[in-house]
């Protein structure tokens, strides 16, 4: 997991991808294509696994770990394309290409049910191990 953010409004996983190029996103496909320009100026295409699928797996894994330790809490997350030279085509919900979008997503998130401070502290304690 790249980043786990624990706040008063929830627990979030932020998957960081530093991909350079034009990323053709399709939340339903297993692989996404990336159009790139090489050092010599030539164009080529590569691909990457769908990061939303990886994010779902990481959320599941963290939720299971916490539940196994007596903490039943909803976990959400997002994918952050941190390279300034990335351009997302058909950007799906949950994918961001600016740090401001990530911060806004987390800060403005409304949990489905209120989270008490003791629960947040228990999460922090288990993640600090």
Chain segment 62-119, per-residue pLDDT in tens: 999 999 999 999 999 999 999 999 999 999 999 999 999 999 999 999 988 888 999 9
Q: What is the span of the domain harbouring residue 58?
A: 3-123
Number of domains in the chain: 1
Element (H, E) at 14: strand 10-17
Q: Is residue 110 part of a domain?
A: yes
Q: Is residue 128 part of a domain?
A: no
6 has pLDDT over 80: yes
Tokens of 10: 């929830």
Q: Is residue 67 part of a domain?
A: yes
pTM as predicted? 0.91
Tokens of 9: 């409004």
Q: Is residue 129 part of a domain?
A: no
């Amino acid at each position: 997991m790249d980043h786990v953010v624990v706040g008063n409004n929830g627990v979030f996983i932020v998957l960081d991808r530093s991909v350079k190029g034009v990323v053709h996103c399709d939340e339903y496909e297993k692989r996404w294509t990336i159009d790139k320009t090489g050092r010599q100026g030539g164009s080529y295409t590569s691909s990457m696994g769908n990061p939303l699928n990886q994010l779902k797996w990481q959320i599941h894994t963290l939720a299971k770990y916490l539940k196994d330790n007596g903490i039943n809490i909803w976990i959400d997350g997002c994918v952050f394309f941190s390279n300034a030279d990335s351009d997302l085509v058909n950007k799906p919900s949950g994918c961001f290409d600016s740090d401001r979008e990530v911060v806004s997503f987390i800060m403005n998130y409304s949990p489905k049910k209120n989270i008490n401070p003791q629960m947040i502290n228990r999460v922090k304690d288990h993640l600090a191990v």
